[in-house]
Amino acid sequence: MDARAEADHSDRQGNGRAQQRRLPFPFDDGFPSTFPADTWRNAARAGTIGIFVIVLIAALNLARPILLPTASAFVVTMMLGPLSARADRHGVPALVTAIALWLLVIAVVYGLIVLLSAPAVAWIGKAPDIGRIIQEKLHVLDRPLDALRDIRNALLPSEEAGKGVGFDIMTIVSPAVGIVTPAIGQLVIFFGTLFFMLLGRSQLRQTAVVFFRARQARLRTLKIMNAVEHHLTGYLSVVAVINVCVGVAGGLVAWAVGLPDPVAWGVLGFVLNFIPYAGALLIELAMFLVGLVTFPTLTHALVAPVIYLAIATAEGHFITPSIVGRKFTLNPLTVFLSLVFWTWLWGPVGAFLAVPLLIMALVAMMYMFPKHAPELPD
């Protein structure tokens, strides 16, 4: 027995010395003797994916002047895809279809610009007076602002202590002009890319399918493109009809309350309501600022934003979910994060593209990673 116990003891000591030789630093009892190789491989893969995502985001940001109008043209082309396919089935030449749809998009954009440009130019011309009037109307906020300023000066004293808080409308107009100026060149890229995408829609689809060799991959690619066109067209069509109703309601509210240019308010409500969450907030803020300039009292200026808030709440929480939710289920958190990301990356146009790009990504993932993959025919 003593010889056997002594042999076991020597074996344990030998194993302990071998373990210490394998490890770069000592471990207490109970820890694994070696780090799993799979963990290092998974960490390397995660790091590679993370680096790729960071580089991709940087590339999207740097190539924004080209990618933004190109992505917009691609989304519009996918949305008009069913109309182009129906025209092909009826024997309409691709050139005629492309020109007709291209002119339709130009007419819509031109109409929106015409309806919104005249009121915008008029209000920009009144910018100095508007800033002064708004500052006078918001004198009720002087005491809370003074209290906040005192707290700030006590915590972070600076040389600007004691200066009043002013409202300069040019601080809003200048960034807007900075956005509109490069947008002219991007509009040219958008319409040029849109025309050639509409003209070569069939060739683009064939190229995307033929790019893959395996029949299964080709079939999946074709299904993804058809599903993206179907879901994108269906969603945006339903939302466009709802937004028309919201725009009409916004114009009626502006007319009933007494805000100037009710037609422009209706068009603005229709356009901005394509932006989830933020669009209605922008309309309410604009109604409040214009109401401050137009009406004599602060209470009167709050009437139109409050009514529009009730309309937007009913539309966003009851009407749209009941109509759209039957066919298109989008997670509100996913929509919000998509809106934040694309707005941060591509600005106001990115906010309009957030939901269409999200739909395209979700449809592609649904076919690329199906929960129950069916057996494809040989």
Q: What is the pLDDT of residues 11-48, one digit of tens each?
A: 555 454 444 444 444 545 554 555 566 788 888 888 89
- The overall average pLDDT reported for the chain is 78
- Residue 20: per-residue pLDDT: 46
Mean pLDDT of 90-105: 91
Q: Which of 197, 179, 201, 177 is nearest to 65 (CA)?
A: 179
Please report the DSSP string for 311-363 in residue order.
HHHHIIIIIHHHHHTTT----HHHHHHHHHHHHHHHHHHHHHHHHHHHHHHHH
- Residue 159: per-residue pLDDT: 47
pLDDT in tens, 216-271: 888 888 888 888 888 888 888 888 889 999 999 999 999 999 888 888 899 999 99
Tokens, residue 335: 């929509």
Instruction: Write the burial class of residue 68 (CB in 10 Å: 0-12 exposed, 13-18 middle, 19+ buried).
Output: buried
Please state which of the ranges 163-177, 197-211, 307-321 shows the lowest mean pLDDT.
Answer: 163-177
Longest dimension (CA), the chain: 105
As a whole-number percent, the residues of the chain with pLDDT over 90 amount to: 15
> Which of 8-17, 26-35, 126-135, 298-307 shows the highest mean pLDDT?
298-307
Tell me what percent of the chain is helix, strand and coil, each rounded to the nearest 5: 80, 0, 20
pLDDT in tens, 134-189: 666 666 555 665 666 667 666 665 544 444 444 444 555 555 545 555 567 788 89
Mean pLDDT of 123-139: 65
Confidence class of residue 215 from pLDDT cuts 50, 70 and 90?
Answer: confident
Cα torsion 199, 203, 207, 210 to 10°: value is 160
- Residue 89: per-residue pLDDT: 87
As a whole-number percent, the residues of the chain with pLDDT over 70 amount to: 71
Mean pLDDT of 287-294: 84
| 3 state SS of 209 | helix
- Residue 255: per-residue pLDDT: 92
- Residue 163: per-residue pLDDT: 47
- Residue 8: per-residue pLDDT: 54
Tokens, residue 91: 């024997």
For residue 346, give every residue at least 6 positions away whose Cβ sits within 8 Å of its Cβ, in sequence order, or none.
60, 64, 68, 353
What is this structure's pTM?
Answer: 0.71
- Residue 195: per-residue pLDDT: 92
- Residue 130: per-residue pLDDT: 66
CB 293 within 8 A of CB 276: no
Compute the chain's Rg from CA coordinates: 30
Please state which of the ranges 32-41, 273-282, 313-322 shows the lowest mean pLDDT.
Answer: 32-41
Q: Which of 329, 291, 287 is nearest to 312 (CA)?
A: 287
**H or E stretch at 369:** none
Q: How far is CA 91 from CA 86, 87, 95, 96, 104, in A?
A: 9, 6, 12, 11, 20
Q: Compare 6 and 85 and report the one with higher pLDDT.
A: 85
- Residue 6: per-residue pLDDT: 53
Q: Compare 86 and 26 and report the one with higher pLDDT.
A: 86
Mean pLDDT of 292-319: 86
Tokens, residue 238: 């339903």
Please report the DSSP string for 110-131 in residue order.
HHHHHHHHHHHHHHHHTHHHHH
